[in-house]
Structure 1
């Protein structure tokens, strides 16, 4: 079962500008506990997977990419923008979808929650309305627009969290274990959504089948980048190492 190839919707749509994310000698610690050490790399590919055991540093790495976490040492740049000093501009470029959608849903109804991001960006009211309508229709949420957001099913909540990011039209989206809390049907649905995006994506996951067809997979181990290459190279290496 493989979900990683980009769908026709993504292939037929006009390409978005590409983002380049650079990490230069990045280390991050929570108090005295170092969770990432000396990470230097550049991300330019369209589809990048991130894997590793729990506690390996992969979620902290993901949060560094749009300034949710800033490095204790070193620098993270998004198209030359420093996440430490230009975080608002960085987040226009890089969206973030959390593992638990309840951490991301902030407004009472579905439509209000989707409208929050572009409203916060200062978009005109007519543009916000158009974007909200488009994204709710795209992800099958239009019939729930006035529904209490926190009463949606788990799969619908994850789609709402994704819609709330995509309505702001970032160039790259980071997904932090987006299918971990979902059943198989909703895992497939979210995988299909990711597959069809025009945006560049970074996907942190334990579901290795999701990464088939990706351009690049990073493996983290004990806070360090342990492997970096194509899925055909890195996924078998990771599986064998953890057999």
Structure 2
């Protein structure tokens, strides 16, 4: 469960020449549903909201807590609890190969070297990626990279999975494969997306417009509200 009573303002480098810009207006949210979609135009504040949920970004005003832990005072614990998948998997795949990236994620479990290797290969096998274990991440397709990024995040078994438009760079087949993976997860999933048909399958949807929550509730009603805002 995520509780957010927060706002974000970007402070200019030189306050004498530029005004502060509000990125996300003060809001109050309690996020408890299993699958929550966040929709809105580019630049509306969706990514900012998501980054608040695991402490990648701290609020300028107010607080954000995850299962009772504050992102201000318990940042490390929150990040262990909340896995984050970026739009571009190359932003988070830091090792040369999928196997090495999985092994890096598994280090916090204090396994032996062989155990880490065997577990990494088993996880990749579960995603149909074992044959790519030693491939360069730059040789993988967009879908293979995104599944690898998802696997590395889920390898440490977070309570909540946050995804920032994960299907943006994927074709239809890979999008369907990714979404099927997400559907089968036991974790709470909070995801921003431009895919309205996908958002319609979630339990709850938020519409973000110009840094504010313009609608919060039934996904079908949220989509209608978003379309009205888009004109």
User: Given the two structures, how large is their TM-score scaled by the length of structure 2?
Assistant: 0.92
Work out the CA distance in 2 between the residues paired with 1:40 and 1:130: 44
Work out the CA distance in 2 between the residues paired with 1:212 and 1:223: 22
**Match in the other structure for 1:29:** 9
> How far has the Cα of 1:63 moved from its partner?
0.5
Contact 1:94 1:171 in 2 (8 A): yes
Give the number of the structure with larger relative contact order, counting CA–CA contacts within 8 Å between residues 6 or more apart.
Answer: 1
Q: Secondary structure at the match of 1:182?
A: coil
**Match in the other structure for 1:52:** 40
- Correspondence list, 1:52-91, <5 A: 52-91=40-79
Contact 1:131 1:167 in 2 (8 A): no
Work out the CA distance in 2 between the residues paired with 1:82 and 1:73: 13
Post-superposition Cα deviations, 1:104-133, rounded to whole Å, max 9, x if no partner, equal 1100111001121221x2522265345423
> How far has the Cα of 1:103 moved from its partner?
0.3
Q: Which runs of 5+ in 1 are unaligned?
A: 1-19
Tell me which of 103, 113, 137 is aligned to 2:125.
Answer: 137
- Correspondence list, 1:83-162, <5 A: 83-119=71-107, 121-125=108-112, 128-162=116-150
Structure 2 residue 169 is the aligned partner of structure 1 residue 181: yes
Work out the CA distance in 1 between the residues paired with 2:200 and 2:118: 34
Work out the CA distance in 2 between the residues paired with 1:149 and 1:203: 24
Aligned length: 222
Q: Which runs of 5+ in 2 are unaligned?
A: 12-19
Contact 1:136 1:145 in 2 (8 A): yes
**Match in the other structure for 1:194:** 182
CA RMSD of aligned residues (A): 1.3
Runs of 4 or more consecutive aligned structure 1 residues displaced over 6 Å after TM superposition: none
- Largest Rg, 1 or 2: 2
Contact 2:121 2:133 in 1 (8 A): no
User: Given the two structures, how large is their TM-score scaled by the length of structure 1?
Assistant: 0.87
> How far has the Cα of 1:144 moved from its partner?
0.8
Contact 2:99 2:117 in 1 (8 A): no
Q: Secondary structure at the match of 1:227?
A: strand
Work out the CA distance in 2 between the residues paired with 1:39 and 1:133: 43
Post-superposition Cα deviations, 1:73-99, rounded to whole Å, max 9, x if no partner, equal 110000111111211110111100000
Q: Secondary structure at the match of 1:106?
A: coil
> How far has the Cα of 1:213 moved from its partner?
2.6
